[in-house]
Amino acid sequence: MTARRLDGKATAQAIREELRGEVDRLIARGRRPGLGVVLVGEHPASAVYVKSKTGACEGLGVHHETRTLPASASTEEVVDVVEKLNHRREIHGILVQLPLPPQVDATRVLDVVDPVKDVDGFHPDNVGRLVQKRPRFVPCTPAGIMELLARHDIGVAGKRAVVIGRSDIVGKPMALLLMHANATVTVCHSRTADLAAVAREADLLVAAIGRPGLVRAEFVKPGAVVVDVGMNTVENPAEARDLLEPSRLPGFEKRGRALVGDVHAPSVASVAGALTPVPGGVGPLTIALLVKNTVRAASMAE
């Protein structure tokens, strides 16, 4: 058995196409959706992510601008930039690219973002609304996963779901969304006893713990749906030979690095019923949902 591939790239493209009409409608009414991005430092991965997000905005006619601060910036300096974006009417969504440098108090910065512009869904007000099942903005990665499941006709109600990872960005909101969709949810983490045995109980397994290739065949119930949220870079040849499917090895040898998830795809693909690839799975959905939240923020501001 080979797992069905859940193509996040194609799903993200479909979402963007659906947004095009809404963006055109808002522009016709004089309200072009606008995204303000705050980037602190020169973290290479963060710069790539920001470029992908602003590129998706540009493709739909969504206004975007990035405020870049040096890696030495203080909490006060970052807060000042966010507060200025809060007061600009043409900016409907604000994204603070994480991670922030260690001297910057990320909690304080995110708390300053106006909740009605918090398109990442990280402000305490939006977190509380999600808990109460009356969300304004849902964090983009979990929201994208729910879109992926729905658009591939994968039912959640009544299923046993296991989420590996308890971050505020993915694990916790993912568990809430699955619970709201009537799944029975277990959240696992680094201190869960016999993690593989717990994971094997899942009809739907979401891996979001940040450890390359952690989830192997023994973690997966035959036929289960496996969603891989991991984004890890591998540069060691021996590690690459273990983690990559054979078809990806020539690309690794050419570039000297490769992106892998938290799921050991070569072994899991022979057990799971469906599996998201890395790259091309959850990543594109995160970007598409950021644009969708920005368009929603502009619609709410009318």
Question: How far is it, in rounded angstroms, from Cα 289 to Cα 296?
Answer: 10
Active site residues: 53, 97, 120
The DSSP letter of residue 160 is E
Burial (Cβ within 10 Å: 0-12, 13-18, ≥19) of residue 158: exposed
Q: Which two tokens stand for residue 44?
A: 């290479």
In the chain, alpha helices (H):
8-28, 44-60, 75-86, 106-112, 124-131, 140-151, 171-180, 195-199, 237-243, 249-255, 265-268, 282-300
What backbone phi and psi angles, to 5 degrees, belong to 284? -60, -30
Contacts of 172 (CB under 8 A, 6+ apart): 166, 187
Contacts of 83 (CB under 8 A, 6+ apart): 112
Comparing C-alpha atoms, which of 183, 271, 259 is closest to residue 224? 271
